[in-house]
Amino acid sequence: MINNPIVNDFLEQIVGADDLKNIKAIIQALIDGIDTDEAIHEKTEIKLNTVRKLLYKLHDASIANYKRNKDPETQWFTYTWRFEKEEYVEEITKFYEHRLNERQSALDNLENNLYFVCCMEPEHFKGDYTESSEFEFYCPVCDYELEPYDAKKEKSLLKRRITIDKKNFKKFEEAVNE
Ligand SMILES: [Zn+2]
Strand ranges inside the chain, DSSP E: 64-70, 77-83, 115-118, 126-128, 146-148
- C-alpha distances (whole Å) from 45 to each of 25, 40, 49, 57 are 10, 8, 11, 19
Q: What is the chain's pLDDT, residue by residue, as a tens digit (178 residues)?
A: 899 999 999 999 999 999 999 999 999 999 999 999 999 999 999 999 999 999 999 999 999 999 999 988 888 888 999 999 999 999 999 999 999 999 999 999 999 999 999 999 999 999 999 999 999 999 999 999 999 999 999 999 999 999 999 999 999 999 999 8
Q: How far does residue 156's CA lie from ligand 1's centre (Å)?
A: 25
Domain ranges of the chain: 5-84, 89-177
Ion ligand 1 contact residues with beta carbon within 5 A: 118, 120-121, 124, 139, 141-142
Using an 8 Å Cβ cutoff, are 145 and 119 in contact?
yes
Q: How far does residue 121's CA lie from ligand 1's centre (Å)?
A: 5
Question: 5-84 belongs to which CATH class?
Answer: mainly alpha
Q: How far does residue 153's CA lie from ligand 1's centre (Å)?
A: 21
Q: How far does residue 131's CA lie from ligand 1's centre (Å)?
A: 15
* Residue 144 DSSP label: P
